[in-house]
Amino acid sequence: MTTAERQRSAQALIRPQLPAELTEKSAGCPFDPAGALTELSGHGGIHRIEHKGETVWLVTGHEEARAVLAEPTMSADRINSPRARALISPELHAEMFPPERQAGSFVFMDAPEHTRYRKLLTGQFTVRRMRDLTPRIHEIVTDRLDAMIEKGPPADLVHDFALPVPSLVICELLGVDYGDREEFQTRTAKLLNLTTTVDEQIKNTTEQRLFMRSLVREKQLNPGDDLLSGLVNDTDLDTDELTGIANLLLVAGHETTANMLALGTFALLEHPEEFAKLREHPELTENAVEELLRYLSIISMGVSRHAKEDVTIGGVTIRAGETVVVSVPSVNRDAKEYADPHALLVDRPRGHHVAFGHGIHQCLGQQLARVEMTVGFTELLRRLPTLELAVPADEVPLRTDMSIYGVHALPVTW
């Protein structure tokens, strides 16, 4: 297989083939789904898409999305799915996904394997641990704002605030030395970049696993009171499983929240009435966090599943082996579920968005993310009430080249 063929196969696995007009952001607004996708959403909640010889079921309705994500015959294992086996040669599959790399990656597993890992991790993501971590999150947010204010405007909110806050928090939670943050942040960015070659992905993944494996071994020898030490002490997970779980939590724990903090701030600055409303009524912040999660939906490519057997959802029959993509941005703007769905309203009554997923794979760290965002936005607006963009909105660099949407930088002043 040529290098180009390897690249096409791997990218097709990561990103199910859909017409560009359904995946590209609207030209007029960086926060809205593609115009063609919004139009399609008005014609039902589930759609059969034929593109480049592949059939994909695209879910745009809220009710249908929850049904797909709760359906036990819908598999999350895209690595070993019939589609993956058809797209990737056995040799490339073995190279990209050796057993030690798959160990612990429970987001790509189904019951009962997923259930086993989920139960072990739920025991570590306790209410007490999240409560005990909240004062530390306040300290981290305050310290970052102090440093940014002392340096003075203009500032890059991504570099100075949105990225370091969740990175520090996840380091604290897992027991990672914060001095290593630049190493894992750089590597994570490469892993999430849609233009990274297969060979670069394999190299980055291998290096990241070696980094986390050394951390796991350190916790096995000298455990502390962090989450990773808890998994070492309280479970029978082996080193490969612990490494896989730690990797997953590290990447998910800082990238998603960082992009929500940055993109959420951008959205508020572009909606000055909502920004003012939130600044004047900070008690609305928790509600505003839920609205930003609904409105922005940074998992813009959607959530993939494949049917393990024939199943009927939304009045259509999905055949065994077929791919289903839940379009999170469309689902979170379903007009049947939300009045005026394309408006950002920080005082909108809280609904049932799927920004954190639904069903057994619903995000394990969602409460931690909510605390980080609530504290982050509260203090950001309190300390910098005159915050504004330092460049025209159309000059803000968007993360259209990444699997997690957001902004690469957010120049601000005050």
Q: Which residues of the chain have pLDDT under 50?
A: none
| pLDDT of res. 8 | 55
Whether the Cβ atoms of residue 69 and residue 61 lie closer than 8 Å to each other: no
β 311-313/316-318 pair status: antiparallel
Contact 140, 247 (CB under 8 A): no
For residue 133, give the nearest of 381, 370, 378 by alpha carbon: 370
Q: How far is CA 10 from CA 13, 14, 83, in A?
A: 5, 6, 11
Distance between CA atoms of residues 73 and 311, nearest Å: 8
* pLDDT tens-digit series, residues 197-224: 777 878 888 888 898 999 999 999 999 8
Widest distance between CA atoms in the chain: 60
**Using an 8 Å Cβ cutoff, are 216 and 239 in contact?**
yes
Residue with tokens 């059939």: 55
Which tokens belong to 398?
């968007």
Beta bridge partners of 55: 50
The residue length of the chain stands at 414
**Kind and range of the H or E run holding 303:** strand 303-307
Predicted pLDDT at 14: 57
DSSP state of 34: P
Query: What does the pLDDT read at residue 161?
Result: 97
Q: By C-alpha distance, which of 15, 52, 31, 10 is closest to 407?
A: 31
Write down the domain spans for the chain. 3-413
Residue 7 pLDDT: 52
Token pair recorded at residue 182: 């630049």
Read off φ and ψ for residue 120, nearest 5 degrees. -65, -40
* Cα–Cα distance for residue pair 296/318, rounded to 1 Å: 29
Fold of domain 3-413? Cytochrome p450 (1.10.630)
Neighbours of 142 (CB within 10 A): 13
Quote the pTM value.
0.92
On the 0-12 / 13-18 / 19+ scale of CB atoms within 10 A, 146 is exposed
**Torsion angles phi and psi, residue 320, rounded to 5:** -55, 130
| Beta bridge mates, 50 | 55
CA distances to 163, 251, 266, 284, 412 from 156, rounded to whole Å, are 10, 22, 12, 26, 6
Q: At what angle do helices 239-269 and 198-221 cross, to 10 degrees?
A: 110
